[in-house]
Structure 1
Amino acid sequence: MADQPQELVDEWNKLVQEWTDAEEALGRADQQIEANTHQFGQPIEYITDLSLFDEHEAALERRRKASEAMKGFLEKHHGGGG
């Protein structure tokens, strides 16, 4: 993107940061579920904190939206071709 106007570069960098933040949130949610479903490397019977799944679903949705925004940016500014 070296030959792109600075505002496009800035917009793209913002989208990349949003996706990265969403991916990190998803990783944390995954770790929380893992920590609450396994003890000493062995599965336990069930999770009692259902909010962990709400956090995971929210992180998935956040990442999906970030991916769609990145795709939309590329389609708008680069014709969507690969």
Structure 2
Amino acid sequence: MLDTVRQQVNIKAFTVEGKAIVRELAREAATTKQDLADIINVVIEELVRQRFELPGFQRCSGPRVRLVARLIPVTFGCSMRV
């Protein structure tokens, strides 16, 4: 059923490819953005542009995302507001 809906609206399922895009864009955005919300917005914009279905809110705001947000400043030497 979901595949039919995706075909009708020309949307790709959020799969391994989508996850890879999210990881890469989040890393890139973290070099210029300090707020987690700004990083998430960059990622959402690109997923929409590439016609991916958006992951659920819990996936975007869960503990893993908060952990990554805390690790990014350490990795890139910048401050970030979560």
Relative to total residues, which structure has the larger helix share, 1 or 2? Answer: 1
Is the TM value for this pair above 0.5? Answer: no
Return the structure number with greater strand share.
1
TM-score by length of 2: 0.26
TM-score norm. by structure 1 comes to 0.26
User: Which of the pair has more CA radius of gyration?
Assistant: 1
